[in-house]
Amino acid sequence: MRKDIEFRTEDGIVLRGWWYEGNGPGPRPGIVMAHGFSATKEMYLDDFAGLFHSRGFDVLVYDNRNLGESDAPVPGEIDPWQQVRDYRDAITWFSQQDDIDADRIGVWGSSYSGAHVLVVAALDRRVRCVVSQVPLVTGLENGRRLVRSDYWDGLRASFDADRQARLAGEAPAMIPVAFDKASDEPCALPTQDTHDFFFGPIQERATTWRNEVTLRSVELFTEYEPHVYIPRISPTPLLMVVATEDVLTPCDLAIASYENALEPKRLLLLRGGHFDAYVDEAFQISGPAQTQWFTDHLMK
């Protein structure tokens, strides 16, 4: 059974989402899930959550702050470290619910949240199992892959100008997440498959998504280095899922970072690009593998 829920973070922000509640006797193992950069829970998280739920897990899925149905004190602001703190608050809230086993909590993330769960698993020993799908592992190097080198100085200058404007009391500068029509339009995630995903059929499901984030979100992206935390995840079991043709969070960067993880760990390679991981053949392969990983490490 899926029900709508909401909970407060430590700083009082209300995050909203779904609880896939188990039917078996408690206490039951749980999985905490959120989506990636600007994405909302309706963008295929229900497919993964439903699969996990079918194998006996309670699953908490929520929209990140400033996105979707959650509170938005700064609409479109994506602060990776704030999202990490929110994951930990979500774990706290979920662990305190009746029939949830606080000693059997896993975390799942994809893309930007795939980065966050690497950090959360390294910092928070309440996490007993982690699945990181097509993760960002290094913000600066990833940013340099996405932004042409002759544009980099201009981007840095825009960060500085936005900082000065905010300090003067002006509203944060905004930038599209994906280009709308022309591939040379400035945007946060300038790949063709990003455009195709956000402006494709998913729009019918994800009605709360907005093609706009703060420019500061992009600056914070370039400063975020989750790969530093990967060696610290062990002994928590790590499954990393990587798409071999990923150009948004490049495959080679993820694999290189995976090599720094300690056991127990597993690498699952999927054919296709970044957004293929959510659908069709890749999901048919990855979904059961992720479910089995959680089952092996969270089910007694």
Beta partners for 16?
A: 6
CB 72 within 8 A of CB 208: no
Cα–Cα distance measured from residue 4 to residue 242, given in angstroms and rounded to the nearest whole number: 31
**Two structure tokens written together for 234:** 């062990």
CB 248 within 8 A of CB 194: yes
The distance from CA 15 to its chain's CA centroid, rounded to whole angstroms, is 15
Cα–Cα distance measured from residue 190 to residue 185, given in angstroms and rounded to the nearest whole number: 8
| Helix, coil or strand: residue 245 | coil
The domains located in the chain, with CATH, are 2-142+224-298 (3.40.50.1820)
Cα–Cα distance measured from residue 198 to residue 39, given in angstroms and rounded to the nearest whole number: 9
Cα–Cα distance measured from residue 80 to residue 85, given in angstroms and rounded to the nearest whole number: 9
DSSP 231-275: GGSTTS-EEEEEETT-TTTTHHHHHHHHTTPPSSEEEEEESS-GG
Residue 26 confidence (pLDDT): 86
CB 210 within 8 A of CB 125: no
CB 173 within 8 A of CB 149: no
Residues for the chain: how many in total?
Answer: 300
Residue 171 confidence (pLDDT): 97
Residue 182 confidence (pLDDT): 77
Residue 292 confidence (pLDDT): 98
Residue 261 confidence (pLDDT): 98
pLDDT < 70 regions, the chain: none
Instruction: Number of helices (H) and strands (E) in the chain: give both, helices first.
Output: 9, 10
Q: If we measure between CA atoms, which residue out of 182, 172, 271 comes closest to residue 214? A: 172
Beta carbons within 10 angstroms of residue 20's beta carbon: 21
Residue 181 confidence (pLDDT): 84
Residue 23 confidence (pLDDT): 83
CB 105 within 8 A of CB 117: no
Residue 16 confidence (pLDDT): 98
Residue 24 confidence (pLDDT): 83
